[in-house]
Structure formats: structure tokens, C-alpha cells
Structure 1
Amino acid sequence: MVTPDQEETTPKGPRSPAENAELALLLEVAGTPKPGNVDRERDLEELWFEHFLAGAVGSRRGLKRAEAGAPVGAAFETAVAGMANQRGGNTQFGCLLLLVPLVRTAAAEGSVRPALATNTVEATTVEDAAGFYRAFDHVDVFVEDPPAALEPLDVRRGAAAIPALEERGVTLYDVMEASVPGDDIAREWVTGFDRSFRAAQWLESLEAQRPATDRVAQVFLRLLGERPDTLIASKHGEAIAQEVSDCAAELAGVDAFRTDRERVDTFADDLCERGINPGTTADITAAGIFIALERGGLEV
């Protein structure tokens, strides 16, 4: 039996991949300001900071399943079901679609690298695709209408689409590949998590004495300025997505986050008032945080 005194003197080891993934979700939403997204200072009309905290904690069981070697689809569905156990609805669906295979990779391989993550996602199966589709039964996720030929595989059908998946032999990697270029989460799957790893490098390059949440917000702004957000493009059109990206690039280029925080706050408030949410960029930011935590390049 371990006494309380012994517990206090027992050396604490590093966080597990699942723990780092949960921490990544918490750090992502705590990063402030993240223009257009929920952060410590901004709630959206029906989606609040507390919902994201609850979603991160709720996803733990699915992340633990991924760490233990469960199939990607099953672990993802479990994570989404737990995430959805709060009143706000969809908080971190896209984050989890990136984090679950990264956690599985880190746990299985002892490290997380682009080639290893690619091996994980390319090995997904039809049953993994079925788990992904079942996840849509747990929470409402914004998805554009598919082409008529793909209507039987519309993810919004949830489990009802699984017979069509099985008949066609569609794997989860196939689903992601077919979703490019309109979905940048899917793009991460087929490009070796390119932007996620780049976000990790940026996080690791920023001054360690600054709060991690400041660094997270700055990297989010840089990612948004690098490439228009596909969620914005889907909801508001490509012109608005480009406008937002151009503004973020200007602010990131002069490092306004540090030199003129008021400009970034004004940009953040404007996007929130207009209902423009760069959610895909936030998802990729979370994946970058996880990678940096796993590599020891981001200490908290």
C-alpha cells in the first residue's frame, strides 16, 4: 500500500500521449486572442469557453483508447461521444480527427513523426470509416452538401451510410482523400500532417519565458495568415476566407500580437461579431500543440 507521503516523493514521469492530447485541447482554447474563435475572453452566442473545457475532458476516454492501440475509427467515435457530453454541441470534432491518429502513432512508435503518422492513417480500414461515420450521430457537425454521386456516402447520414461504405470498400483514409481540397483537416491526413508539424516548429521556436497560451495564440494567427480557413470558405465563401487570411497575415507579419495587441483584439472582436469562425485553423493549432508537447519543445 502506498502512503500519502510516499506518493508525494514518487518521481513523476512524463505525460502520456493521451494526457498530452487532452492538454493540447485545453491550451488551444485557452490561447487568447484567437480571432473568431472561443478563447478565455470571448464566447460565441451558443458556444462558450466552458463547453470547450468540458469537451476536452470528455474526450479523454477516446484518447486513452487510441493510446492503448484501439483502431482509429473506434477511438475517434469514443472521443467524440465524450466530447459531446456538454451543452454547447461540437467543440473539438476536427481537433480529435487529427489528435486520435497522432496519439496512436506516438504511443505505438514511441515518437511522432510525419512518416509514422502517415503510416497510421494509410493503414485505416473500412471499419475505421464506419467509426468515423457513427461519430456524426453524437454531434451536429457543419458539412457541405456532397456531389449527387456521393450522396449515399454523405457523412451526415451517420451510421445509416455504413452499408454503402462496406459495399464500396471505402476506408477512412479514402474518405479523407476524397475530401481534399475543400477540407484542410482531411488535407493534413494526406500530406503527412504538414501544417500541424509546422505549427509545432513555430511553437518550439518562440521564447520559452512567454506563457504557452500567448505562443498558441500567436501561432494560430500565423497559421490563419498562411492559408485561408476552409471552414470559413465553406460557410461564407472563398472571398471572405481570403480577406480574413490577408488580415491575419498582416498582423502576424508585423508581430502585432506583441507590439500592438489592441489591433489583434479588434480583429478578434470583429470576426466574432460577424460570426466568422476559423475553426479549421484552431484544429490544426491543437495538433501542433500536441506534437510540440510530445517532442518536449513546449513546456508548461
Structure 2
Amino acid sequence: MNEIAAAFIASCRDEIEAPKPGNVHIFAEGHGMTADEFLRSAEAAAPAIGESSASIGDRILAAVEATWASVGMNTNLGIILLCAPLAIAAQTDGDLRSALKGALARLTRADAAAAFCAILRASPAGLGEARRHDVHQAPDATLLEAMRAAADRDRIAYQYAFDFVDVFETGIGALNAARSKLWPAPWPTVAIYLAFLAGFPDSHIARKKGLARAATVQGEAANIRHRFVSYSNPAEALPDLLDFDQRLKADGLNPGTSADLTVATVFADRLTRILIERRNND
């Protein structure tokens, strides 16, 4: 296994070990899924994510197929869509964010075709027909163009359209703030997740339950986050987090996009450190 695949598995593990309200984690399963299924999914998808000779689209499709072969359900489509471009960007010797921008600009119709197949295979909740770039049809544009068309309703597509701005600013910003407080794991990962959940309506909730419900969850998350970041010992926030977790799951609300962005942030941070170490060893 190469270092990119290993970084992907470690990042997925970090996310699943963090008590993320409304999402699956080691403290509580939810939405018909368990933490073990997510960990098995990460192990299954990692070789495809780290495959140095594959395109972004081919990595996405292979990772989704490997996940289905392992767990028989969609546990990680959003994670894969976000992490495949980051992985290919990390194959350069330059700055990760700059390399990612170039990788997104080079996306093709073949990448779109592979990604559309992966999305259909995963059959994410709330998937319907779209007026433009419908995944049920052969693509008539590049993957980047298709993502730009969906950016106003899907935060993962938004990352493609705007060079992963949320990951590199909101996510990495929250991670660095938690590290400056010397918080141990899993609390920096929780800080990332809450920054996303409080930062904008989760598009997975919006797709399934409507934008109004997503906005309500965002408001509640902002209150939870305000209390969380005020703790000198973040472990004291665990009862508050788990109470919010139970309430969200009781209402069938799964902030899956916020969780996907959390993995992408931790993965981007690991890849950045890999690139720095690679340059230092040259």
C-alpha cells in the first residue's frame, strides 16, 4: 500500500473515531450503518484512491465498486468524490492546493462518465433527475462542468467548482485552531466537523429533508460549536455532543456532507505533510 492510500485510511479512521452529532461514529451507530462498515469501506476503497496511474474518474468508480464489494452499501461516495482529486494532486512535488486546482481544470468527459457510473452504483439518498448533466445519461460535459452546474445545491460539487475552498479554509482553519490549543485526538476532528455543520446547511440533509430542516440543524450546530470551542478540556463536551447526536438520529437527520468534508480536510492535511516531507528529503 502506498502512502496516499495509507493516508486515506488513517483519515477515514480519524473521522469515524470522532463523536460527530448525527453521523456514524464509534460512540454510536446510526441510519442503518455501523462504524465497522465505514472502516471496512475505507480499507476497500484505499487502493483505488492511491492508484498512481489512474485518472480521477477511474479512481472514483473503482473505489465505489470496491466499497460495494466489501459492504454492499453506499458508505463513502462523498468521501471518494472529494478524496480522489486530492490524491492525484498529491502526486506532484508542489503545493497541494495549487496542484488540486490544476487537476480539476484537467478533468474530462471520461472522468464525468466514470463518476456518473459511480454515483448511479452508489445510489445516494435523494438522487433524482437533473435538468442538466443528469447522471442517468451520457455526459455532455467534463466532470468539472457538471459539478459547477450542481454547486448551488450540493456542497461536494461546490468544492470542485471553487477549488475545495471549504476544505482549505473552513476545515483546515478549524483544525489549526484546535491544534493551537494542543487538543488531542479526536477533538480536532470534531472541531472540523462542527465548523462545517455550523458553517452552512448540510446538503445531504437538504436533499433528503429540505433546506429549512438543514438550516435548523445548522443553527443548532452553531450553538453546540460555540460551547465546544470554549472548553479548555474538549472532552467535557461529550455529553452535549452525544445528546445532539441522539436527537438528530431520532429525527432521521444525517449530516453526511459535513462528515465527508471532514474526511477530506484531514486527508488534505496529511497529504500536505507528505509533500513537505518529500521536499525535505530531496
TM-score range, shorter chain: 0.7 to 0.9
Task: Report % sequence identity.
Answer: 26
Q: Identify the match of residue 51 of structure 1 among 34, 37, 50.
A: 37
Q: Identify the match of residue 285 of structure 1 among 259, 262, 272.
A: 262
Per mean C-alpha deviation after superposition, the further-off stretch among 127-136 and 273-282 is: 127-136
TM-score by length of 1: 0.83
- Quote the offset at 1:116 in angstroms: 2.2
In the alignment, the residues of structure 2 paired with residue 140 and residue 211 of structure 1 have an alpha-carbon distance, to the nearest angstrom, of 36
The 1:230/1:137 distance shift into structure 2, 3 A limit, reads closer
In the alignment, the residues of structure 2 paired with residue 142 and residue 235 of structure 1 have an alpha-carbon distance, to the nearest angstrom, of 7
Q: Identify the match of residue 295 of structure 1 among 269, 272, 281.
A: 272
The 1:63/1:87 distance shift into structure 2, 3 A limit, reads closer
Per mean C-alpha deviation after superposition, the further-off stretch among 208-217 and 94-103 is: 208-217
Per mean C-alpha deviation after superposition, the further-off stretch among 192-201 and 252-261 is: 252-261
Question: What does residue 141 of structure 1 align with?
Answer: 124
- Quote the offset at 1:273 in angstroms: 1.2
- Quote the offset at 1:204 in angstroms: 2.7
Per-residue CA distance 1:213-241 (angstroms, 9 max, x = gap): 22111220121011110111111111111
Question: What does residue 134 of structure 2 align with?
Answer: 154
- Quote the offset at 1:174 in angstroms: 1.1
1:149-298 matches, within 5 Å, as 149-150=131-132, 153-155=133-135, 157=136, 161-162=137-138, 165=139, 168=140, 170-198=141-169, 199-207=171-179, 209-255=182-228, 258=234, 259-296=236-273
Per-residue CA distance 1:27-81 (angstroms, 9 max, x = gap): 11111x201100001112421111101100000121121xx14211011111111
In the alignment, the residues of structure 1 paired with residue 41 and residue 184 of structure 2 have an alpha-carbon distance, to the nearest angstrom, of 23
Per-residue CA distance 1:158-217 (angstroms, 9 max, x = gap): xxx23xx2xx3x111111011111000000111110111121232133237533222111
Q: Identify the match of residue 25 of structure 1 among 4, 9, 12.
A: 12
Greater Rg by CA: 1
TM-score by length of 2: 0.88
The 1:294/1:212 distance shift into structure 2, 3 A limit, reads farther
- Counterpart of 2:58, as a letter, is A
Stretches of structure 2 that go unaligned for 5 or more consecutive residues are: 275-282
Question: What does residue 63 of structure 1 align with?
Answer: 49
Question: What does residue 106 of structure 2 align with?
Answer: 123
The 1:18/1:251 distance shift into structure 2, 3 A limit, reads same
- Quote the offset at 1:88 in angstroms: 5.4
SS state of the match for residue 242, structure 1?
helix
